[in-house]
Structure 1
Amino acid sequence: MEINRIYYILLITFFIPLSFFAQANNAPAPMTEVRYNLSAQFVDPKQAYYISLLEMAMQKSEPKFGPYKMTPVEIEMPQGRTIKLVESKQHLDIVWTMTSIERENQLQAIYIPLLKGLMGYRIGIIRQGEQAKFDQVNSLNAFKKIIIGQGVDWPDTEILERNGFKVVSGSASNLLAMLSKERFDYFPRAIHEPWDELARSDDIALEQHLLLRYASPIYFFVHKQNKHLAERIEFGLRLAINDGSFDKLFQNHPITAGVIEKAQLNKRIEFEMSNPLLSPKSAELLKESHLWLTALEKMPQSTRQN
C-alpha cells in the first residue's frame, strides 16, 4: 500500500506541472494596444495611408502575436512633441515620421520605408502667377537664391540648410499663410502632399519646373524598450511586402495612387541633394531595392543636376 501511495504522489507531482505548462502555452496572447496621434482640428487626409498600413501590419501579424487594438489619440501637437510623447511613454505608442540620426537615437525605428522613397522627391507650392521666375532657374546656384519655407521641426529644414539653401521655418499649420504673406517664395512638398492643399486655395499654384531630391525614408517609430511592438510591426510589414499587399495599398491608396504621373517628374529639372541626417543603417537600407520605388529612377538622365 505504501508503495502504491508513493507511486500515486509521484504521478501527481509529474503531471500537474505538465498540465500547468500546457494551459499556459494554450493561453490567449495578450491584447496589443497601439495608440497613435490623430488630429481632429487639422484633418490631414495623408495620415489615412499610414493608418491603413499600420492596420495591415497588425492584422497580418495577428496569427503569431495575437489580438490588437488601434486607439486614435486626439491631441493637437507639432511633430516634435509627438516624438517626445512616444519617447516618454505618454499617451502614444507609435509615430510615423521622416527619419534622422537624432530620431533613431530617440526611438526605435522600424526600418521599412513606408512611402518607398516617395518622401524624397519634392515639388514646390508657389504663389499664383509667379511661375515665370521659376522657369528661369536652371542651375543649383540660381535655385539657392530662392527663399524656401519648411516646418520648424522637420528634418528637411536642416537638410536644405546644410545643402546651402536659405530656409524660413514655421509651424506646419502656418506655412501656407506665410507663403501668401511673402515670408518665403517656395514651399517644397513630397510629390504626394500638395494636391489637397492646392485644392483648398486659389491663391497658390504648383510650381512646374523644379524637382528637389534627397534620400528621406519615413518609418514607424516606437519606444526603444517596446521590442514586442517593433518586432510585431516589422513582421507584419514584411509579410505584406512578400505577399504583394504592401505594393497594392501603395499603388491604389487615394493619397499615393498616380502621383508620379500627376507631378510630371519627367518634365522637371532635378537637383539631387545629400542627406547628412541619414544614419549608416538607413543609408545601407538604400541597397535593398525591393523596398524602394525604382520607377522613379526611370526619368531621363538629361533632366538631372548634381
Structure 2
Amino acid sequence: MTEIDSSPVLKYHLPTDNRYSIAYISDDIERGKTRRQQYEDDPSTDVVGGTVEIEGNAVYHIYTRNNPDEYLKSYQGEMDYEEWITSLSEDDAQFLLLVFDAFEGVIETVDSEDSYMELYKRMNHGDLLRVPNRVQWKQSVAAVAAELLSKFILIHPMPNSNHRTALGVVDRYMASYDSDFAMPDTGEDQSWYPWASDFIFDSKRLLTLRRKLSLLKYAHKCGYDKVRRKDGAEIDLTEVDFDRNNHRAYYKRRHLERSRDFIDLLLERTGHSHLAEMDDKGKQVFIDRLKASS
C-alpha cells in the first residue's frame, strides 16, 4: 500500500493525507483485513489500510478519518439548534458563547493568513458544558486557569484547533481578573512559536498516550520504537511504561501538571505573575463577569 510509509517510525497521521490518523495495527494480516471491512461498513468513517514490512515482518495498518459528508448531515437544523440553545440555563449558554467566540477568533486568524482549517468532526456541545463543571474553582487564579486549559484539551470538544480555542478561553478568564491581561501571540496556523511549542508538543504527546496506549503498545511489539505526529511531536516508545495501572488517570495528572507549568510561564512572560497569588472567586463570578461584558 503506497499511501502508508514503511519507515521504522510510525506515522501517527497518514503521510499522504494527514486528515487520517492511525486506528489499528496488527501482524495478523487476515485479522487486519477483517477489521478494515468493519470500518468500511460504517459510512461515517473513511478508511485507508494496507500491509507494510517493519523489520522484515508484515504488519497491517489502518488509518481512518471521520467522513465530513456524513457528520455534516448529522448537524441539527438552524431552528433545532436555536431551540437547543434556549433550553440551556443562562450560565451554560454564556459559557458556550465564550467558546464559540474563542473559536471564531481562531478561524478569523486562519482566514487572515490565507490558510484553510478543515473541521474533522462535529463540535460536541455536551462535552463543552462538561469543561467548567470539571474544574476545581476557588483556588488561585493561576491554578484555575491551568485546570481550564487542561480539562478543555483533554475533553477535546472542538472540530479542530482545541489547543488554540482553549488558550482563547484562558485569555478571557485571566482578563476577568486583570483587564490588562492579553494572551501573547502563540504562532501562525499550524506553526507554534518556540515559547509555546514545548507545551503544545508535550500536551499532544500526553493526549496521545492517554488515548492510544494499547495501540502504541502493539506498535512497539511490531517493531516500532518511535511515533511521530504530523506536527512533528514524537513519542519514544522505548521509554513508555505500557503496563502502567490506570494509565488514563496517570496521563490526566501529568497533563494538568504540565498545564500548570505553562500557565506559570505565561504569567511570567506577560508580566502578570501577581495572578498566581490572587484567589479565584468561583465559577459563578466568572460567568457573571462574562455576562456583564457581553
Same fold (TM over 0.5): no
TM-score normalised per structure 2: 0.27
- Of structures 1 and 2, the one with the larger relative CO (CA 8 A, separation 6+) is 1
Alignment TM-score, normalising by the size of structure 1 = 0.26
